[in-house]
Amino acid sequence: MNIIGVLVSILVYGLVFALLVWLIDQFPALAPFRAVARAILVLIAIIVLLGILLGGFSVPVFVVR
């Protein structure tokens, strides 16, 4: 996998996680629920990022020509 493919994959996953954070903030819920939901989302994002960088997750290869 080339570096461009990894960067594009990280960008796509980052946009998905940003959308999820935005969705969490849109729900009219109690503040502790939002904090817990965001903390869980951050932990998942860290695990996915480490998995991508260390080769634990397979990401689609984008061919840039």
CA distance between the termini of the chain: 14
In a domain, 63, yes or no: no
Q: What is the residue range of 36's domain? A: 3-54
Q: How confident is the model at residue 18 (pLDDT cuts 50, 70, 90)?
A: very high
The per-residue pLDDT for 58 is 67
CB atoms within 10 A of CB 39: 10
In a domain, 21, yes or no: yes
Residue of 19 and 58 predicted with greater confidence: 19
Tally of residues, the chain: 65
Q: pLDDT tens digits for 22-60?
A: 998 888 878 888 889 889 999 998 888 888 778 777 666
* Residue 57 vs residues 4, 10, 18, 22: alpha-carbon distances, Å: 16, 12, 20, 25
In a domain, 60, yes or no: no
* 57 Cβ neighbours under 8 A, 6+ residues apart: 48, 51
The per-residue pLDDT for 60 is 63
In a domain, 24, yes or no: yes
- Tell me how many domains the chain contains: 1
Q: How confident is the model at residue 61 (pLDDT cuts 50, 70, 90)?
A: low
